[in-house]
Amino acid sequence: MQLAQVNIAQAKYSLDAPEMKEFIDNLAPINAIADASAGFVWRLVGEDNNATDIQAFGDPNIIVNMSVWSSMETLKDFMFKTHHRDFLRSKQDWFHNIKEANYALWWIEDGTIPSIDDAIVRLEHLRSYGDSPYAFSFKAPFSI
């Protein structure tokens, strides 16, 4: 089994605004780190090799990120032990605080690529019902 993740963020400004320049300028380097990370399997991409142009929600300022990893540990290593960590610390500069869950995790069969629709359903399930084997957070991970 592999770990799928979706996370969303609501930008404070349009993505072409000067206030978003640092975030946008670092998408390619951060994505390159993800792509080269141990345990990385797949990530959602649109134009420019990122997913900022993919509209999965009604709000054009909500951006979506999806990826698949070989394990919970490899995803955490990328998130918290690489340069990605520095951008997590600055996210309040670019994004609104979303009160509901802004990410969901779930296990998938090896070789499966999750759809955006599946990711939205998982995120909505987590928001409605809390952590479960169907969709969970880092706070309450479910084993395979």
> What is the spatial distance between Cα 131 and Cα 121, in angstroms, rounded to a whole number?
14
Closest to 3 (Cα-Cα) out of 36, 41, 34, 30: 41
Domains and CATH numbers, the chain: 2-129 (3.30.70.100)
What average pLDDT values come out for the chain (144 residues) when binned by 10 residues? 97 94 93 96 89 86 95 96 88 94 97 96 97 95 80
